[in-house]
Every structure is written in structure tokens, then in C-alpha cells.
Amino acid sequence: MAIARWFGARLIAAAAMVSSALLLAVFGASALANPAGASCVALPALPDAIAQARFVFVGTVQSTTDADRTADVAVEEIWKGPSLPKRVEVRGSPVSDPGAQTSVDRRFEAGRRYLFVPLDERRGSAFQDNACTSTTEYTPAVAQYAPDKPSAHPRAASP
């Protein structure tokens, strides 16, 4: 009888350890997962994304807030879309609580120049963007897709 209790106690302890290890593996892996890979479908080629987008513009991030997910952007060229003010806000997350995260959060870096291909929806005057859009750092390879005559300066518009 003592042997049965000893084996029973060991079996329960082993089951608890296995359960804990499984929980840690599942939740730990989800916390470390690549945000873009977690929830995004394959992005279209950049020329296709530009052709399909409502808004496309080039700008330099002046500053960021909300854990680098919200950018104050100086607009330099408008490739596609309506008039824009000289400065716009681009939000790279559907949430704005610094403690919250989503699998599609995009983070911006102050001083970097980007080609913005945000979502078609806007929240007030802010553009919505995330890791599932074709927004990308502006490089010579990206510049080749510029329209023949992009607007060199933002068109006059109220914020």
C-alpha cells in the first residue's frame, strides 16, 4: 500500500510538472512570436500595394509616442491621395495604452524616412497603420516606384 501511495504521489507531481511546462511553452512562445508573422497575410508586391492604396506618401518621422507606435510625420511627397497637411500623425497600432500590445503593432523610429502606405481608414486626422501594411523605410529601391510627378511638397490642407 505504501508503494502505491508513493507511485501515486510521483505520478501527480509529474503530471503537474508536464502541465506547467506545456503552459509555459504555449504562452512563452506566443509572447516571443514575430508580430508581423502572427496575424498578417502575405503582403502584395510594393507596386501592387501602391496601386491598390488610397493614400501613399513619403515622410520623415519627427518624433514618436506610445512606445514608438505613434509617429509625428513631416510629409515630403504625396504619391497618391488627397491634400495633406505638412505634418500628420500615423498610428501603428489599433490600441494606444502603453501597457497593451497587439500582434500587428508597427513601431517607428524618429529621424527615419518612410514610404507610408497606411490603411484606408483614418481615426480623425490620424492615419492608421500596422505591421500588415506595405509601409516601409524609404530607400533607393523604393524610390523607383515614385510616380512621374509626385507632389514635391504637401498640398495645402487643414489638419
6 and 55 co-located in one domain: no
Distance separating alpha carbons of residues 70 and 53, to the nearest angstrom: 20
* pTM for this prediction: 0.71
Same domain, 54 and 130: yes
Is residue 56 one of the residues assigned to a domain? yes
Q: What is the pLDDT of residues 78-128, one digit of tens each?
A: 999 998 999 999 999 988 877 888 999 999 999 999 999 999 888 778 999
Q: Do 88 and 15 fall within a single domain?
A: no
Verify that 18 and 50 share a domain, yes or no.
no
Q: Which domain holds residue 12?
A: 2-32
**Residue 57 belongs to some domain of the structure:** yes
Instruction: Please check whether residues 19 and 91 belong to one and the same domain.
Output: no
Q: Are residues 65 and 105 in the same domain?
A: yes
Which amino acid, one-letter code, is at 4? Answer: A
